Chains A and B, each alone.
Chain A
Amino acid sequence: MPRWSLSAPEMDRPLSGPDHFHWLVHRAMRAHGQAGNISRMRFDLGAADAADVAATLRTNPVVQAVGRVRWCFRWPLLPRWRLTEDAPDVVHVHRADDGEAWLSQRLREPLGREGLLRFDVRDGAGATQVLASFHHALFDHQGMLNLLHAVEAGAWHGPAMPSLDRAPGPGAWREAVACAAAAFRTAGPRLGSLWVRGAAGEEPHYQVLRFTVEETARINARARAMGASLSRNAWYMAGVAHGVQAVLERRGRPAPYLWFSAPVDQRPPTGPGHLLTNLNSFLFFRLEREHLHDPGVALRALNVQLVEQVRSRFPQRYRSLLRAFRHPPAWLASAMFALPSLGRWSSFGHSDLGDLDRMPVTFAGRPVAQVLHLPPVPGPPGLCVVTGRERGALLMVIGRQGLALNEQEAGAFASSLRDLLLGT
């Protein structure tokens, strides 16, 4: 019996805490003239007929239903989900021979009034591509994969949304206050940042580091030897932090410390999960200057902070903070959100997409030749690094704003990160 439904009464609810977090990130990005907190995936479909692909997507019941989701404000400016009455057209076809120019143009475009999901189909005369744009306030990475599978199947058999986040009780408010105090204690305006004033409004640029299965085995062995047995991501973050500090040193202003977060998936470990809205929390890390000269030292500091935070149930407490965030009016929530770092947000963004083998091998019924992952690049900080594994091979996507990390710096950063991971 299908459990899928997307009805107006079901959707009429406040954004969950994690959704609200991504919505606040979105507002901050829009205020800096960027397209917003949007994750995109480009599917290369070879010589598929672009008009047929678009028609398949337009008539897909899941695309039609999810395309109706919007947010709205109710007094006193609290964002809630809602559905539009009519299904808007969220599929757009473009005739474009130059794929790079087309992508660059699309990356500048917000989803805006068009909603939270959009598909752009490039008719490139024998080279058809689809750019799927997902608003991060509505989808976490697992949600994006669930949606892609639902679109392929033409239906979804799990729940549309998770059960409603309860309003925080007195205990949760205490946890929220403790969590906010921790944020103030560890963050601050002196955190190292690549952000350059005036970098607003640029489209992000991406570089993909692909490793072979053999190289990935070498990287994993080296990570373990360095002490990353608990979390390989801690080793990747240590490498990224080392690279960021190297750039800042070349600019003649090494950071006193770097501050950054890593998302923690809080979906249930088994079962299909739900289709819409985020279910994540965050861990926060701070590396002092003395940690940043040696990635091994940085890794040990990250391990200690990781264990401390999990032991103190920080991810659960942070969810309480996120739930609390959605109760004050939007302007106050935005101010609270910016305050610990005084608007500098973080030193870089990092997340792990996990096993990418769950990615569908067909899209709109056509075989997918390759997928390009294009995560949002919030500015500030203007740099994000996303990892994933395709058939056992490590993949890293480095997203940057041009003025935060110019082409030459980005090349050196990627090359030194690759060398560090491989131990060459």
Chain B
Amino acid sequence: MTVPQEDLLLVLRDLVAKRNGGPVVDDAPLETLGLDSLSVIELLMAVEDHFGVRIPVEGIGAGDLRDLRSLAAYAQHQMH
């Protein structure tokens, strides 16, 4: 299944905005959005539920955890 990265970003942005109760900047460091490792896994699980796919998280690297944009890129790569 191929999902455009912008669609993934939109879903991630919505999820974080709901969680934090406010607007979210795509390139803000994840730490400043209050996202720790557990919440990143939970976010990816929510993306899985949304698109009905499985995203392996064991191989995630530090570069994938910079901001929502890099996380969306990781999710898209793993969905291929």
> Interface on A for B, CB 8 Å cutoff?
224, 229-231, 264-265, 269-271, 303-304, 306-307, 310-311, 315
5 interchain residue pairs of minimum CB distance: A269-B34, A231-B37, A310-B41, A230-B37, A224-B62
11 additional A-B residue pairs with CB within 8 Å, beyond A230-B40, A231-B38, A310-B41: A224-B62, A229-B62, A229-B65, A230-B60, A269-B20, A269-B34, A270-B20, A270-B34, A303-B58, A306-B37, A307-B41
List the A side residues contacting B4 at CB < 8 Å. Answer: none
Given A224-B61, A304-B58, A230:B41 Cβ within 8 A: yes
List the B side residues contacting A304 at CB < 8 Å. Answer: 58
Answer yes or no: B7 CB below 8 A from chain A CBs: no
List the B side residues contacting A264 at CB < 8 Å. Answer: 38
Contact of A230 among B20, B33, B42, B57 (CB under 8 A): B57
8 A-B contact pairs sorted by A residue (CB < 8 Å): A224-B61, A230-B37, A230-B40, A231-B37, A269-B20, A306-B38, A311-B45, A315-B38
Given A270-B20, A270-B21, A229:B61 Cβ within 8 A: yes
List the A side residues contacting B57 at CB < 8 Å. Answer: 230, 307
Q: In the bound complex, what is the Cα–Cα distance between A304 and B56 (angstroms)?
A: 11
List the B side residues contacting A306 at CB < 8 Å. Answer: 37-38, 41
Shortest Cβ gap from B76 to chain A (Å) = 18
Are B20 and A229 in contact, CB atoms less than 8 angstroms apart? Answer: no
Shortest Cβ gap from A309 to chain B (Å) = 9
Answer yes or no: B15 CB below 8 A from chain A CBs: no
Contact of B39 among A224, A269, A311 (CB under 8 A): A269
Answer yes or no: B22 CB below 8 A from chain A CBs: yes
Answer yes or no: B19 CB below 8 A from chain A CBs: yes
List the B side residues contacting A271 at CB < 8 Å. Answer: 21
Are B42 and A310 in contact, CB atoms less than 8 angstroms apart? Answer: yes
Shortest Cβ gap from A396 to chain B (Å) = 19
List the B side residues contacting A269 at CB < 8 Å. Answer: 19-20, 33-35, 39
> Interface on B for A, CB 8 Å cutoff?
19-22, 33-42, 45, 57-58, 60-62, 64-65
Q: In the bound complex, what is the Cα–Cα distance between A259 and B15 (angstroms)?
A: 34
Q: In the bound complex, what is the Cα–Cα distance between A40 and B16 (angstroms)?
A: 35
List the A side residues contacting B36 at CB < 8 Å. Answer: 265
Q: In the bound complex, what is the Cα–Cα distance between A31 and B61 (angstroms)?
A: 45
List the A side residues contacting B45 at CB < 8 Å. Answer: 310-311
List the A side residues contacting B64 at CB < 8 Å. Answer: 229
Q: In the bound complex, what is the Cα–Cα distance between A229 and B64 (angstroms)?
A: 9
Among residues of B, the one whose C-beta sits closest to the C-beta of A221 is B62
Among residues of B, the one whose C-beta sits closest to the C-beta of A230 is B37
Among residues of A, the one whose C-beta sits closest to the C-beta of B21 is A270
Q: In the bound complex, what is the Cα–Cα distance between A307 and B45 (angstroms)?
A: 10
Q: In the bound complex, what is the Cα–Cα distance between A264 and B41 (angstroms)?
A: 14
List the A side residues contacting B42 at CB < 8 Å. Answer: 310
Q: In the bound complex, what is the Cα–Cα distance between A280 and B32 (angstroms)?
A: 21
Q: In the bound complex, what is the Cα–Cα distance between A303 and B59 (angstroms)?
A: 10
Shortest Cβ gap from B56 to chain A (Å) = 9
Shortest Cβ gap from A354 to chain B (Å) = 9
Are A270 and B22 in contact, CB atoms less than 8 angstroms apart? Answer: yes
Q: In the bound complex, what is the Cα–Cα distance between A411 and B24 (angstroms)?
A: 47
Q: In the bound complex, what is the Cα–Cα distance between A230 and B61 (angstroms)?
A: 7
Shortest Cβ gap from B52 to chain A (Å) = 16
Q: In the bound complex, what is the Cα–Cα distance between A81 and B29 (angstroms)?
A: 40
Shortest Cβ gap from A252 to chain B (Å) = 36
Among residues of A, the one whose C-beta sits closest to the C-beta of B57 is A307
Are A229 and B60 in contact, CB atoms less than 8 angstroms apart? Answer: yes
Q: In the bound complex, what is the Cα–Cα distance between A230 and B30 (angstroms)?
A: 12
Q: In the bound complex, what is the Cα–Cα distance between A229 and B36 (angstroms)?
A: 11
Shortest Cβ gap from B73 to chain A (Å) = 15
List the B side residues contacting A230 at CB < 8 Å. Answer: 37, 40-41, 57-58, 60
Q: In the bound complex, what is the Cα–Cα distance between A86 and B10 (angstroms)?
A: 55
Q: In the bound complex, what is the Cα–Cα distance between A310 and B35 (angstroms)?
A: 14
Q: In the bound complex, what is the Cα–Cα distance between A231 and B35 (angstroms)?
A: 12
Shortest Cβ gap from A20 to chain B (Å) = 22
Are A311 and B19 in contact, CB atoms less than 8 angstroms apart? Answer: no
List the B side residues contacting A303 at CB < 8 Å. Answer: 58
List the A side residues contacting B40 at CB < 8 Å. Answer: 230
Contact of A310 among B22, B33, B38 (CB under 8 A): B38
List the B side residues contacting A231 at CB < 8 Å. Answer: 37-38
Q: In the bound complex, what is the Cα–Cα distance between A269 and B15 (angstroms)?
A: 13
Shortest Cβ gap from B53 to chain A (Å) = 14
List the A side residues contacting B34 at CB < 8 Å. Answer: 269-270
